[in-house]
Chain A
Amino acid sequence: MKELRLMKGNEAIAEAAIRAGADAYFGYPITPQSEILEYLMAEKPEERTGMVVLQAESEIAAINMVYGAASTGKRVLTSSSSPGISLKQEGISYIAGAELPCLIINVVRGGPGLGTIQPSQADYFQATKGGGHGDYHLLVLAPASVQEMSDFVKLGFDLAFKYRNPVLILSDGAIGQMMEKVELFEQQERLKYFDPSWTLTGKTSGRSRNIITSLELDPARQEKHNLRLQAKYRQMEEVEVRYEQIDCDDADFIIVAFGSSARISQKAVRIAREKGLKAGLFRPITLFPFPKSEISSLADRVKGMLSVEMNAGQMVEDVRLAVNGKIPVEYYGRFGGMIPTPDEVVEALEQKLVTV
């Protein structure tokens, strides 16, 4: 039987974490995502499933608790918002280097610096290009609804373990705070099997010791390690690209947008069509791997693309790389916590692409 609830995006993430069979959550309060930790504490997941929830002394400690817990093979997650995610970058780089599975949630707010607590997508570069030091990628999922906040927790854990790589859910303050109907998935069991080839469970006589490290002092071996990581990212690009297309089949112009911007742009497409403008929406769901070839194919049959973002124009660079000069690619966005209206998007589409 379907279990439907009206929930905030942040609450949906927390409930989904329990249901996904997470073993532990480590976090530190920061607006606009504190409901995740609050919900988890109130739910007593220790009693529901045995899941550990701990409020750390800092985001740095929280991500390193995740590092420690993930190295034991457990299903673990943390969440924060932009300034806190910046603090976590050191740990994320280590986790990526040590190839551990975990889930990180960024409910993005406007920056730079302390910025604002209002919604933003200004952390696109940080999320998709690495974020911390060294050559690495997170697998990045961008939910556009409270339903996806829940679904992507489960999907995120699956992908994290499939690739032994941290997965980031790049949300924003709007999706985190808004309430929508959400269909919750059924309770999953917590992990019982811990892969003896890499998890730290104590060295038994049947196997050699397991070491979780991102250190390799020999540059030739470090390069080899990097090449293996890169091969993993290429494989993600081959098989994990996810996207949604709305009204793209007969479209002359495509709006490319993710997350909250995609919700706004969906309305903009409807307004544009009412005006007789054949617009469509292409919504990348995975921001890394980015749907490059799909956007490139679309560019073969439309007149132009508009990247709509709640930042100063970040994803537009990836759209342009994918389009590779075949058609004009423009950007429209608001930032610093401001949210574009559908009418503004339509106006930008007309001014930047249609009337040119």
Chain B
Amino acid sequence: METKDIIKPENLVYTKTSLMTDNILSYCPGCGHGTIHRIIMEVIDEMGIQSEVIGIAPVGCSVLAYDFMDIDMAQAAHGRAPALATGMKRCWPDKFVFTYQGDGDLAAIGTAETIHTCNRGENITIIYINNGIYGMTGGQMAPTTIPGMRSSTSPYGRDVITMGYPLKITDLVACLPGTYYVSRQAVHKPGAVRKAKKAVRMAFENQKLKKGVSFVEFVSSCNSGWKMTPVDANKWMEENMFPYYPLGDIKLDGELIKTQSKKTADHD
């Protein structure tokens, strides 16, 4: 059977959203960025809001996110994306504004912008990628590196006595009155991808309600930075990252979910 015989409309069960450009992704094989980009673009496509969306790329591996997403985008200085988003949303209150940030960006250098943007209750969506490491700069310790985890700047493992504790910033922002929806997701398995997409959809739909920040964390692997194969990295993530960063909704409709740890046990 020739390729042209296989690729026929009646055989088509899935297609890439046109909101993902044809540029070759700059991410390592096994990285979650590509899938998370796709989820966001699919949600925007399905909601039909491409002409009303403005995205903000951070500093980090996804600094070139605008090469892959066919939407209007700005590139922010390290950590400052929520401030840009605030400026945009205040000027265009009826447009959809989202930031796309890594853990170093959002939970270290941009902590002040993250906390205050959430606390002001800006009607934006924050997509937060937590892979426990600085990927682009070559695998240094991040604010989210878990205790004992090795990185190029914690080569003997993160020692919490001298290096401090990993910051669960998602749980922290969930406690602020300005956040309306806070969730933690992953994209390591098809089931997780489906759940994650629902969370992203809700995070964008919520902007219409004007009730505050919708914040979705993705616990993601960085097999290059972790120096593992993609398969091993996913396994390590499930065994070590998920217990520290349990998946599931943390705040829904402005209300904290009390039984968070039980609720998240059912991830695929």
Contacts and interface: CB of A to CB of B under 8 A. Distances in A.
Which 8 A/B pairs are nearest by Cβ-Cβ distance? Answer: A68-B87, A68-B84, A64-B83, A69-B87, A65-B87, A213-B75, A57-B116, A64-B80
- Residue with the greatest number of chain B CB neighbours at <10 A, chosen from A62, A68, A202: A68
Contacts of A66: 87
A346 to B, nearest CB: 47
A212 B50 CA distance: 17
A72 B92 contact: yes
A58 B112 contact: yes
A23 interface: yes
Nearest to A206: B51
Given A66-B87, A68-B85, A210 B72 contact: yes
A91 B72 CA distance: 20
B171 interface: no
A24 B90 contact: yes
16 contacts: A57-B112, A57-B113, A60-B80, A61-B113, A61-B116, A64-B77, A64-B83, A67-B74, A67-B87, A68-B84, A72-B92, A74-B91, A202-B71, A209-B72, A211-B73, A214-B75
Contacts of A37: none
A215 interface: yes
- Residue with the greatest number of chain B CB neighbours at <10 A, chosen from A98, A204, A213: A213
A209 B51 contact: no
Interface residues of B, number: 35
B125 interface: no
A209 B71 contact: yes
Nearest to B116: A57
A76 B87 contact: yes
A82 B73 CA distance: 31
Interface string A252-273: 0000000000000000000000
Interface in A82-97: 90-91, 94
- Residue with the greatest number of chain B CB neighbours at <10 A, chosen from A26, A91, A203, A217: A203
A202 B50 contact: yes
B87 A26 contact: yes
Given A24-B90, A69-B87, A203-B71, A91 B77 contact: yes
B54 interface: yes
Interface in A226-257: none
A68 B83 CA distance: 7
Contacts of A217: 64
- Residue with the greatest number of chain B CB neighbours at <10 A, chosen from A65, A90, A215: A65
B38 interface: no
A57 B117 CA distance: 9
A68 B51 contact: no
B204 to A, nearest CB: 13
B51 A204 contact: yes
B86 A65 contact: yes
Contacts of B54: 72, 200-202
B63 interface: yes
Given A24-B90, A74-B91, A61 B70 contact: no
A292 B159 CA distance: 59
Contacts of A98: 74-75
A211 B91 contact: no
B52 A68 contact: no
B113 A203 contact: no
A69 B95 contact: no
A56 interface: yes
B66 interface: yes
Given A24-B91, A58-B112, 14 more contacts: A24-B90, A54-B90, A57-B116, A64-B80, A65-B83, A65-B86, A66-B87, A68-B74, A72-B91, A74-B91, A76-B91, A91-B80, A211-B74, A212-B75
Contact of B66 (A23, A76, A211): A211
Interface string A186-224: 000000000000001111110001111111010000000
Nearest to B71: A203
B56 interface: yes
Contacts of B57: 213
B80 A203 contact: no
B73 A212 contact: yes
Interface in B63-103: 63-64, 66, 69-77, 80, 83-88, 90-92, 95-96
A70 B74 CA distance: 11
Nearest to A70: B87
Given A61-B112, A204-B51, A205-B51, A69 B77 contact: no
A203 B72 contact: yes
A136 B132 CA distance: 36
Contacts of B71: 202-203, 209
Contact of B77 (A26, A56, A90, A203): A90
Contacts of B80: 60-61, 64, 67, 91
Contact of B74 (A57, A61, A202, A213): A213
Interface string A117-143: 000000000000000000000000000
B75 A64 contact: no
Contacts of B49: 202
B149 interface: no
A205 B96 CA distance: 17
Contacts of B64: 215, 217
